[in-house]
Structure formats: structure tokens, C-alpha cells
Amino acid sequence: MSLYIPSIARRQLLRGAASLAGLALAPAAIGGVVLAAPSLADNPFSLGVASGEPTDDGVVLWTRLAPKPLEPDGGMPPERVAVRWEVAEDPAMRKVVRAGKAMAAPNAGHSVHVEVAGLKPNREYWYRFTAAGAQSPVGRTVTAPAKGAAVDRLRLCYASCQKFEAGFYSAHAHMAQEAPDLVLFLGDYIYEGAPRSKDAVRLHANPEPKDVAGYRVRYASYKTDPLLQAAHAVAPWMVTWDDHEVANDYGADRDQDSFDPQGFLRRRAAAYQVYYEHMPLRRRTMPVGPDMLLYRTLDWGSLAQIQMVDDRQYRDGKPCQPAGPPKRGKLIGDCEERRDPGRSILGKPQEAWLLDALASSKAQWNLLAQQTLMAELQLGDPAKQATRFYSSDGWDGYPANRDRILQRWREAKVSNPLALGGDIHAFAAADLTGTPDGPPVAATFVGGSISSTGGESDAFAAKNPHIKQFDGKVRGYGRVDLTPKGGRVTFRTVENALVPMSPVRDLASFALENGRPGVHRV
Ligand code: FE
Ligand code: CA
């Protein structure tokens, strides 16, 4: 099969391969330290490189050494291996401005997370790693503008839901070709299911993961995809998770069908550890047992502030469930418990942090990066109370929490709020209104799915008048362009995610107007 690879990825892949082929396979000495020399029959950089968490003076650089990526230990010896890193001002890596050494340790799956500081604000950099005589592809990254600085523009792409079996990653290739300043990944980076041949274009590599070894193989198998690697290598990512990074429809210490919180928390600890190992995250995010602090703020000068939240780890249980185990009811009526003002999808501490952050933001555009459709979605027939129902797994299971955010946006006069999301395997654009038929307080845009199928029915959405666009049949990603004068959200869809490389087109575009919240189609 000949696979089209976008030019940037192809260049990087070739560069990585060439540097491997040209190197003598002797133990290398870097900074006087003799490195362990794992067998170099295979490329230790098989999972690519990534960067993330940009600030105005630095960024996190990531890689994981895995010459045999589908083995639980990645084909690495049980010892620490030194990894040299370099950051340059040019793609040819001639003007190196920062360099150092990190240790890839077995208890971290031989991943490295380098927190580079001392870089200049608001500019491009390139980086690479060297380990055990091999050199990684070169990645591009971007630092954030200085705090409060005027900024002309920000281009970010956002994506979610990339089930490996459901399709190929052309969307990532197109995202890479846009050379955005930033990529937001909003959850379902992996799916935890066992290999299933029905409708699969390729199969999961291992049985359903439940422990560190299993999740390592699952994450590594996704990360071997060259188009996903290209998207990581083109820009810094900010990531959050949804449910499938651990288990379907889980919340806090419960998965969808078990009443074994202790057992589930052990599984969650393994999944969170391996998630950390595979993402360009800061050390302060490193999990402790089953806990991992993932909510945070990203500033982009005076132009934008992004609050990235975690709606899985701290949520209250599903409302209005039938008595007795297992509690599975995903679809619920408009029941009393659903509306309980004490309930939170973010959990009290995170919610307090978010409401404070929103009130104190001085940025012109305020983006809430969250996992799912933030707008209400009435399923069934909204005209008939008796047949009206909701999904309990998203904001509709926690409407009081959503109302408190809308209220804060309105009362604190937060400048130009909008919410981005994923999860529903559809493109959606909706007004967020505080009251039925009230004026929009904000807009929300779900940027489709990279490959996952089976989105909510378009017909249900048509019965929700605040939802201005809904398309669950196509795959792709969202793009947001922001300037001080205004912005644009564009839904980018691939023609066919079932083939390895497919062209992209615009499905729809929406204007972001300064001081005029809501969905404005262009
Ligand atoms: Fe999904
Ligand atoms: Ca999901």
C-alpha cells in the first residue's frame, strides 16, 4: 500500500530514517556520559516527537524510546537511557539555542518530558532528540506571546475522537499542513476496546487494556501512525481527555457497569500514568496514584485565554439511574435529580477555579476547551414532555453546572466567550443561552471526530433550535482563527476517512464577532 504522507511529515520521516542509517551503531558519548546501547535494529523514535504546554518563554518537548513499540517495554532494556535534546531557531537545526540531557527511565516507559525555558515569546522553534546513536525527526513548535502583549493573530486547530479501527488519519495530515500555532486535543485519543473486525479498516493491536503494560501497547500502537506523528510534530499541543483514555463512559471512580470503585481506581491509575507517558505534559501534571491534575490555563498574549478542563475525574455520578447494579442508563428523562443544583460535572474545586479564572481574564477571546457538546441536546421529541430525553454522560446530566458557567460569563462580562468540544462524533455549532429562547451568551463548536463514527442522529439535533449546524456523517477537525478585529471557526472535513489519504474541504464557516456572541454562519 502506498501511503501519501504530507510533505512536512515525509521530510521529517526521511530525515529520521536517514540519520538512523548514517550512524555508527556504537555506544554514543554525550556530555561525557556513556549511554546504554539498546539494539538499534529498530528505530527508537518509532512514536515520533511532540511538544506542548507553550508559555511565553518555553515549551515541553516529548518523546518515548520504543524500538519495538508493540511490546509492553517498547523493546527497551530495564535501565535508564540518556536522551540529548536540542532546540534551534531554524528547521535545519544550525542555530541551536538550548540543549541538554534528559533520562528516559523504565518506570516512565522510557518517555521523556523536557521543560525548556529561556526561549523568546511568540516565535517558532525546531527541536530534535538523540539517543543510543539515533536521531529523531525534527519537530516544529511555537512559544506563546508575552503576558498581555498585543498579538496579530492566532491559528489553532482542535480535534477529538480518533478510533484507530474506525478510519485513517488524513485529518491529521491536513491539520499538519495548516501549520497552526497550536493544536487542542479534546479527548478520546485512544479507544480502549478489544480488537473488533466489524467495519474496521485496521485492528487494535492488543486486547482491552486494564494495566500499565496493556495501555502502553495501546497508546504506542496509535502513536505509530505517521499522520498523527506529523500533527504532533508541527505545533505544540494542549491535551485533555474524555472517557476512552480509560474506559467507556466512566466518571470519577465508576466505570459504566461495575460497582468496584477500588478496582476501577487501580485501572484509572494505570491509564492516567500511561496517558502522561505519551503526552507532552508538564511534570506538575504527573499523576499520583489515580489522581492527575489536568485542568489549566493557557494565555496567548492579550488576544486569547484558554481554560482547559477535565470533566471526567471529579464528576458526580449519573443522575436518575435505575436502582441496583449495574447502573447503565445513559439516556434519561427530564428528572428531578438531573436538575439538582448541588451536582457538578467538574467537581467543586475545579468549578471554583474555572469561575475565578473566567472572572479575572483580561483576554479578548475566552475559549473553554472541554470534552463534549456544551449545549443542551434534547433527544426524542422535544415537543412531547413524555418522550423527551437526554444523555446523562455530558453536560445534560449536569445542567446546573453549565448554568453557573453561563451565568459567570454573563455577570462578569467575560469578553467573547466560546466553548470548543468533541465527543459526539459530529460537527455541531450551537448558541449557548442562559434561558430558553434567551439571547446567546456564547457559542459552542464541536469540531467533528478524526475517525470515530456513530454520532447522534442529525434529525434529533434539528429539533433543537439553538443548534444551528449538526452533521454526524463526516469526519475531520475544527480550525479557529483569531485576530483583534474578529475571528473565524471553520469545520474541515475529509472526503472519506476509510481510505488512507483523502482530500479536505470546508463544511461550514462561522464568524466570531467582537461583542456579538452566538453562531454567525458565513
Ligand atoms: Fe469519541
Ligand atoms: Ca467520549
CA 201 – ligand 2 centroid, Å: 20
| Lowest model confidence (mean pLDDT) among 33-42, 135-144, 218-227, 417-426 | 33-42
Reported confidence tier of residue 7, pLDDT bands at 50, 70, 90: very low
What protein residues have CB closer than 5 angstroms to ion ligand 2?
188, 242-243, 423
Smallest-distance ligand from the CA of 191: 1
Q: What share of the chain is helix, strand, coil (3-state, %, to 5)?
A: 20, 30, 50
Rounded CA separation 326/211 (Å) = 22
Q: How far is the CA of 371 from the centre of ligand 1 (A)?
A: 9
Proportion of the chain above pLDDT 90, given as a percent: 81
Q: Is the pLDDT of residue 9 over 60?
A: no
More confident residue, 99 or 15: 99
Which residue did the predictor score with more confidence, 353 or 31? 353
Whether the bond into 436 is cis, omega within 30 of 0: no
Q: Kindly indicate the confidence band of residue 2, based on its pLDDT and cuts at 50, 70 and 90.
A: very low
Find, among 48, 73, 63, the residue nearest to 224 by Cα: 48
How close is the Cα of 455 to the center of ligand 1, in Å?
9
Distance 336 CA to ligand 2 centre (A): 25
CA of 422 to the centre of ligand 1 (A): 7
Which residues, in sequence order, are CB contacts of 465 under 8 Å at separation 6+?
Answer: none
| 440-472 pLDDT per residue, tens | 999 999 999 999 998 766 677 778 999 999 999
pLDDT at 331: 86
More confidently predicted of 31 and 510:
510
Span from the CA of 129 to the centroid of ligand 2 (angstroms): 33
Q: Is 327 exposed, middle or buried (0-12, 13-18, 19+ CB in 10 A)?
A: middle
Structural Rg of the chain based on CA atoms: 22
Rounded mean pLDDT, 302-309: 98
Q: Residue 274 C-alpha to ligand 1 middle, in angstroms? A: 19
Which of 373, 319, 376, 316 has the alpha carbon at shortest distance from 345?
316
Is pLDDT at 193 greater than 80 in this prediction?
Answer: yes
Q: How confident is the model at residue 329 (pLDDT cuts 50, 70, 90)?
A: low
Q: What is the mean pLDDT of residues 290-299?
A: 98
Indicate the SS3 state at residue 440. strand
pLDDT over threshold 50, residue 517: yes
Quote the pLDDT of residue 21: 31
pLDDT for the residue 314? 98
Cα of 489 vs centre of ligand 2, distance in Å, is 22
Q: pLDDT tens digits, residue range 466-493?
A: 999 999 999 999 999 999 999 999 999 9
CB 373 within 8 A of CB 339: no
Q: pLDDT value at position 14?
A: 35
The per-residue pLDDT for 380 is: 80
Query: pLDDT tens digits for 72-127?
Result: 999 999 999 999 999 999 999 999 999 999 999 999 999 999 999 999 999 999 99
Model pLDDT, residue 41 = 59
Mean pLDDT within 210-229: 98
As its CATH architecture, domain 145-189+294-522 has 4-Layer Sandwich (3.60)
Across residues 327-335, what is the average pLDDT? 77
pLDDT digits (tens, 9 = 90+) for 415-434: 999 999 999 999 999 999 98
Q: Minimum-distance ligand to the CA of 189?
A: 1
Q: Which ligand is nearest to the CA of 159?
A: 1
Q: What is the Å distance from ligand 2's center to 292 Cα?
A: 19
Predicted local confidence at residue 15, as pLDDT: 40
CA-wise closest residue to 85 among 62, 119, 66, 118:
62
If one counts every other C-beta atom within 10 angstroms of the C-beta of residue 279, the result is 26
Dump pLDDT digits (tens) for 353-395: 999 999 999 999 999 999 999 999 988 877 777 778 899 999 9
Mean pLDDT of the chain: 90
- Looking at the predicted structure, is the pLDDT value of residue 510 above 90? yes
CA of 246 to the centre of ligand 1 (A): 12
pLDDT of residue 5: 40
Instruction: Please tell me the least confidently modeled range out of 234-243, 255-264, 271-280, 301-310.
Output: 255-264
pLDDT band at 324 (very low <50, low <70, confident <90, very high): low
* β-strand pairing of 29-30 with 33-34: antiparallel
| Tally of CA atoms within 13 A in the half-sphere of 139 that contains its CB | 33
Instruction: Name the grid cell of 186.
Output: 479534546
pLDDT at residue 198, rounded to an integer: 81
